[in-house]
Structure 1
C-alpha cells in the first residue's frame, strides 16, 4: 500500500523502502551521451538522473509516471490532495474580434478540465488565442512567460485586445504589474537574484501559469524559475514540445504535466487554416569542403559558399510575392543583403522599433524580400509570406518546423500554398547529413517534396 501526498509543485510518495526504491528506479533516466560528462568520467556520478529523491519527493507534473510505476509493480495507492485549489467556476471564454475555431474551443476546455499539462500546437493553430480563452474563463492572477522582448509586447497587446483585461508587462526594463502579466524569462531570472522579495511575491500570487515555447523548460535556468511558481493551473504551449529524449521530455512534464491536447500541421492544412507547403529541394554544383570540424564546415559550405549564395540570389529573382530568407548567422545575412540589393535584412541587433517597422512594411507589401536571423523562429506575428528560403541549413527539427511555420498562415484571395526552398548540401559530410535529416522531417510531416535541378548550371 502507498500514499501520494499531492502538492502544487512537489508531491511525495509514502510507502515501504523496497517499493520506494522500485518506483525511484522507474523515475530515472540517463542523459544522451552521459559518458562524456565530467562527473561521470571522474567516477563521481553513474550517469543516472533521478526525478524522485530517496525520501519519495517528486515533481507533481510526473504524477502519471508514479501512478504507472505503482500499477506496474502491483501496488495499490491512495492520493491525498494537499494542493491550494482555487474555488472558481470557469466563465464564458468568447473573445473579442474573432470566433474561436472548434479545435480551439476543445483545447480551452481541456485546459480547464485537466488544470495542467502541455498543449502541442503547430504554428498557425492560434495558441495565443487559446491562452486568451483560458485567461478569460478563469480570470485568476496570471503569469504568461515568453522568451523575447518582441513576444512580450505582442502577447500583452493580444491579451488585452482579445479579453479586454488590462495586462501588465514585466521585462525590457519595465515592471508594470497587474492581475494578468506577461513576463520575459530573462527578467524573472534576473530579479530572482537581485530583487527576490518582489519577484517571489509575484510568483506566489500566481494562480494560472502559461509557458510559451515550453520546450525551453529543459534548460536549468527556465526549470528553476518554473519550480518556484506554485500555480494550480499550469499550461505549457509549444509546437514541438517533446524531443524523444526522455530526460528533456520529463523535465518539461515535471513543471507542467503530460500532453493534454495536440493540433498537427496536417490537421490545420486539411481544415484549410494553414497553407499547404511544397518543399523544393534544390540541387546545385559546388566544390567539396572536407573538414573534421562542424563550425568550419558550416562557414565554408553554408555561409561563404559562393555557389550556394548565387543560387539563393537566382531563386529570389525567380520568385513572386513576399519572400523570407532565413539565415543563422548575421554575417550570412549581411552577405546576402549585399548580393540582393532590393532585400531588407533584420536581426536581433536591430532595435525593437526597427523590427516593428520592417514587420509593418511586410504587412503593407512595401518590401518583397526580407532576410532574417532566428528572431522569427518563435511566435512573432509575421504577415502572410509566399515563399521561405532556408538559407540556414541546420538539423534541428524544432527550428525547422518553426521556420516553415512562419509562412503557413492562410493565403487570402490566392492559392493556399507556401513554397519552401531547401538545399541538398552534399559538399560536406556534416551538411549532407543535416540535409538528409531535414528531408526526413518533411516526409514525417507528410509535406509534398519536389527536387529542383534547374539551378545546377549556376556557379
Structure 2
C-alpha cells in the first residue's frame, strides 16, 4: 500500500513527495470552473478547460482548510495517509460553558454542545445551523470554552454590537475593530470583515501618487500649483501610514488563537480567505452559517472551505421544527391581481414598480392578512425591499387602524430593539422592515411574516422566513408565512417560482404549503383571539 505524507498547519497544507498520480487526484479534487471562463479566447479555442485549482504543483501545497477532505479522498482511493501537524489549541475554560440563563441541558438544543464537541475534536470547520438554531450561542460557548485570544468576524454592524453587548454581560474582555473603532485586546475581538480587508491590503506607492493627484484636482485649490516633489511627499506619507497600520494588524492577527466567522456566507470573494491566511496561529477556526456554498462563484464557495474547513455538523430546518426549537411554518402564496400598467413583457424595473410598489390590489391583500392576524392577536412582520414601498404600506396600515412601526436603515440599534420589544409586548401590531431585519432579529411571538418584497435570492429568503420561526411562548408553536406576487409578468413569475422552489425543496417547509386560494388556518389561534 502506497503511503502518502500530508503535513499541515493552521494556514497551509502540503503533500511530501507525492507520486504524480496522487498530485493529479488532489489537483482535480480542488479544482473549480472559473467564473466567466466561457468568454475567454483560450476556452473557446479549446486550449483551456476553464478550470483552475487551489493545488500548487510546484510546491504540492494547498490551503489547510482542504486537508481533511484531501485525507478522506486519498483514504477512499486506497492510500495510507500519514498526517503531520501540531496539535490544535487546547481549551482553557470550563468543559460545559454556561453563556445564558437557559444553560445547556434542554434536550431540544443538544446540537449546541454537540457543535462545541466537534470543534474540540477537529479544530476547524463549518457549523451549518438553520436560522433560529442559536448560532450566536454556539459562538459564545466556543469563546468561553477556549478562553484564548479570539477574533469574531462579521460583515454587519448590528451583529457586531449585539455580540459585544452579550459578551460584556458575560464579563468578557472585548475589543472592537471596525465602524471607526480600533481597540485590540487579549480577550475577544469583534471585527468587521470590511475593516480588516482594507487594513490588510498591501500599500502601493503609485496608487497613492495617483490618489494625491486626483484629490488635488478635485479640491477647491485645484488651480494652485503643486510640484511633483510635493505630490510624492504626500503620497509617501500616505504609503508609510498604511504600511504601519497593515503591520500593526498583521502582528495582531498572529496573536489570535481562535477565529469565528458569523454569517460567514455573507463575506464575498476573498474576504475571509485573505484575513484568515494571516492568522498563522489560529488553529481553532469556525464558520457559522445557515447557508454555506450558495454563492454564484464556485471559487468563492471553495474559498470558504479553504479558510475554515469542511462542514462539521449540519442542523436542518426540519430537525429544528421536529424538536420544537422552531415553530411549524405554514406557507400561503397569494397571487394578487395585476396593476393595469403591468404587462407580461414589462422589463424588470417597470414590473417591480407596478407589480409591488404601486399595486393597490396587492396592498389590499397584504392589509387584509394583517388585519386578520391582528384579530387573532398575532404580531406581524411585513418585509419589503424598497423604502417607497414601505412608506405606502405604512400609510395603509395606519389608515385601517393598525399600530405599526416602519424600521428603516437609518434607525439605530436601540430604536430597532425598542420596536421589537413593543411588538412582543403587544403595544404595536406590526413592524414593516427592510433588509435591516434580515438578520439578528429574535422575537419569538411573531405570528405572521409577510414577504411583500419579492426577489429570488435563496439566502435572503431563508433568513426572512426565519424571522417568524422562533419558538412561540404561550401560544401554539406555528408561524404563518405569506408570499405575495403577480403572475402575469414573466420576470416576476420567474422570481416567484424561484422562491417557491426553495420552500418546496426544504424538508420541514414543503409539507406545509397551502393549496392555491386556501387561507391560513386561523382557528389554530382561536385562544389568542379571545385573549386579544
- When the two structures are superposed, what TM-score results if normalisation uses the length of structure 2? 0.78
In the TM superposition, residue 44 of structure 1 has moved relative to its aligned partner by: 10
Question: Which segment drifts farther, 135-144 or 85-94?
Answer: 85-94
Do structure 1's residue 104 and structure 2's residue 155 form an aligned pair?
no
Work out whether 1:174 is the aligned partner of 2:181.
yes
CA distance in 1, matches of 2:34, 2:493: 26
Match of 1:262 in 2: 314
Larger deviation: 230-239 or 2-11? 2-11
- What does residue range 59-78 of structure 1 map to in structure 2 within 5 Å? 59-71=63-75, 74-78=78-82
SS of the residue corresponding to residue 97 of structure 1 reads coil
1:429 is aligned to 2:493: no
How big is each residue's C-alpha offset from its partner over 1:156-205, in whole Å with a ceiling of 9 and x where there is no partner?
122333x4323222222222322112122122223334421222222111
Q: Which range moved further: 438-447 or 403-412?
A: 438-447
Distance 1:254 1:171 in 2: 24
Does 2:194 match 1:143?
Answer: no
Matched, 1:227 2:227: no
The answer for the alignment partner of 1:284 in structure 2 is: 336
| Unmatched tracts of structure 2, length 5 or more | 202-241, 520-532
1:235 to partner: Cα distance: 0.7
Question: 1:72-99: per-residue Cα shift (whole Å, max 9, x none)?
Answer: 6554432221x47435465332334222
Q: CA deviation at 1:404?
A: 0.9
SS at 1:450 equivalent: coil
Q: What is the CA–CA distance in structure 2 between the aligned matches of 1:150 and 1:325, rounded to whole Å?
A: 20
Distance, in Å, in 2 between the alignment partners of 1:215 and 1:86 is 25
- Is the Cα–Cα contact under 8 Å of residues 176 and 191 in structure 2 kept in the other structure? yes
* 1:45/1:327 CA distance change after superposition, 3 Å: farther
Q: Distance in 1 between matches of 2:408 and 2:94?
A: 41
- Return closer, same or farther for 1:34/1:347 CA change in 2, 3 Å cut-off: farther
Partner SS, residue 133 of structure 2: coil
TM-score of the aligned structures, taking structure 1 as reference length: 0.90
Which stretch of structure 1 is more off in the superposition, 232-241 or 417-426? 417-426
CA drift at 1:33: 5.8
Match of 1:358 in 2: 419
Post-superposition offset of 1:388:
0.4
Q: Deviations along 1:337-366, whole A, 9 cap, x unmatched?
A: 233224321122334443343334334432
1:124 touches 1:274 (CA, 8 Å); kept in 2? Answer: yes
SS for the counterpart of 1:340 is: helix
Query: Which structure 2 residues correspond to residues 442-453 of structure 1 after superposition, within 5 A?
Result: 442-445=503-506, 446-447=508-509, 448-451=512-515, 453=517
Residue aligning to 1:241: 292
Alignment-derived partner of residue 6 in structure 2 = 4
State whether residues 91 and 145 of structure 2, in contact with CA within 8 Å, keep that contact through their aligned partners in structure 1: no
Using the alignment, how far apart are the partners of 2:42 and 2:452 within structure 1?
38
1:197 paired residue number: 247
Aligned counterparts of 2:182 and 2:295: Cα–Cα separation in 1: 37
**Aligned equivalent of 1:156:** 164
Q: Deviations over 1:359-414 (max 9, x none)?
A: 34334432211111111112333453111000111222221111111111111111
- 1:285-315 CA distances to partner (integer Å, 9 max, x unpaired)? 2155233743443333233333222322222
Change over 3 Å in CA distance of 1:367–1:42 after alignment to 2? farther
SS at match of 2:513: strand
C-alpha distance in 1 between matches for 2:424 and 2:373: 18
- Give yes or no for contact 2:452–2:483 (8 Å, CA) kept in 1: yes
Structure 1 residues 202 and 38 mapped into 2: Cα distance closer, same or farther (>3 Å)?
farther
Query: Would you say the 8 A contact 1:152–1:171 is kept in 2?
Result: no
Q: 1:453 to 1:372 in 2, by over 3 A?
A: same
Indicate yes or no: 2:327 matched with 1:275.
yes
Kindly indicate whether the alpha-carbon contact (under 8 Å) linking 1:217 and 1:251 is maintained by their aligned counterparts in 2.
no
| Aligned match of 2:172 | 165
Question: In structure 2, do the counterparts of structure 1 residues 450 and 85 end up closer, same or farther at CA, with 3 Å as the change threshold?
Answer: closer
RMSD of aligned residue pairs (Cα, Å):
2.7
The answer as to whether partners of 2:332 and 2:514 remain within 8 angstroms in 1 is yes
Gaps in structure 1 of 5+ consecutive residues: none
Q: How many residues align?
A: 453
Counterpart of 1:53 in structure 2 is 56
- What's the secondary structure of 1:280's corresponding residue? strand
* 2:364 matches 1:310: yes
Determine the C-alpha separation between the residues in 2 that align with 1:80 and 1:106.
27
- CA distance 1:387–1:176, change in 2 (3 Å): same
C-alpha contact 2:408 2:434 (8 A) present in aligned 1: yes
Query: Which range moved further: 31-40 or 258-267?
Result: 31-40
Comparing 97-106 and 10-19, the one that deviates more: 10-19
